[in-house]
Amino acid sequence: MLKNTLRRWWDLRLQIAMLGIALSGAWLIRETQGQALFEVYGWVSRPFQVNASEQEQLLNARTKELQDRLTELQAQNQKLQQLLGYVATQKTKGIAAPIIGRSADHWWQQVTLGRGSKDGIRKGFIVMGPGGLVGRIINVTPNTSVVVLISDPTSRVGVAISRSRHMGFLRGKGDKAKNRAVMEFFDNVPNVKPGDMVSTSSFSQLYPAGLPVGRVESLDMNKSPAPEAIIEFSASINSLEWVVVYAHEEPSEIALPQNAPSKINSAQNQSSQEEGGEEKR
């Protein structure tokens, strides 16, 4: 009987001990596995969590992007308003065209417009920007057209001093003189001074007379074979975004003034009297 009592006591103690061990193990497993699972969850979900600082940075970046876009749209709107204001002052109806292409290597030579023959544009049409003359159309496709700029080094434009009507021709200087060109006079002693306005002349073949070109910035009266002036363009050719294209029919002949120096006449003839370099393109 004592033996049976001791066995039952020992079995009870053993069961209690085993239960304690099981409970302790379960508690330890729960604690360690819970911590491990939490760490694994945090590691996996961390890339998808955004704290307050990161969220604020994202909002600030988005706000800055929208502000930059608004500034760009306002600048484009201002340029369009200037262009529309210029168009409103013209008697002839023009075709507004955006500039869609401009090579860094030929920045001062050519631009491509997003309008073409489908819009009524033809080769030889003149191109104006806010302020004055920009160039002329030399190539046309159904949806685009190419403009040779008056700043192109091969460009030759017949011009005159608006105040005194003394004439000469304008040749571009490319990137050597940004937004400027050289006017070579026909007279050896022209009546000209800094600030005088320059426009296309009546003997110009590729452009109609009276188009604003620029103003006299400086003079070199000792230049040979004839005096020269640096002309600052009226239109900001460097930052063109929109232009207006006007129809123009080229006359068959050009009438040079009687007092044009022979060397200048020769230069004019070699370049088809005005802009032969571009016509060879």
* DSSP character at residue 118: G
Averaged confidence pLDDT in the chain: 76
Structure tokens at 212: 């604003």
Which of 42-46, 115-119, 239-243 reaches the highest mean pLDDT? 115-119
pLDDT tens per residue across span 193-241:
999 999 999 878 889 999 999 999 999 998 888 899 999 999 989 888 8
| Cα–Cα distance, 217 to 194 (Å, whole number) | 5
Instruction: Supply φ then ψ for residue 97, to 5 degrees.
Output: -140, 135
Please report the pLDDT score of residue 128 as a whole number.
92
103 vs 216 pLDDT, higher one: 216
| Cα–Cα distance, 191 to 38 (Å, whole number) | 90
pLDDT tens per residue across span 152-172:
999 899 999 999 999 999 999
pLDDT tens per residue across span 23-34:
565 555 555 555
Q: If residue 220 lies in a helix (H) or strand (E), which one and from where to where?
A: strand 212-220
Q: Give me the residues paired with residue 212 across strands.
A: 199
Q: What residues does each domain of the chain span?
A: 94-281
Cβ distance 151 to 172 under 8 Å?
A: yes
Please report the pLDDT score of residue 184 as a whole number.
94
Instruction: Report pTM.
Output: 0.62
Please report the pLDDT score of residue 212 as a whole number.
93
Domain 94-281 - what CATH class?
mainly beta
| Cα–Cα distance, 82 to 75 (Å, whole number) | 11
Structure tokens at 184: 């070579």
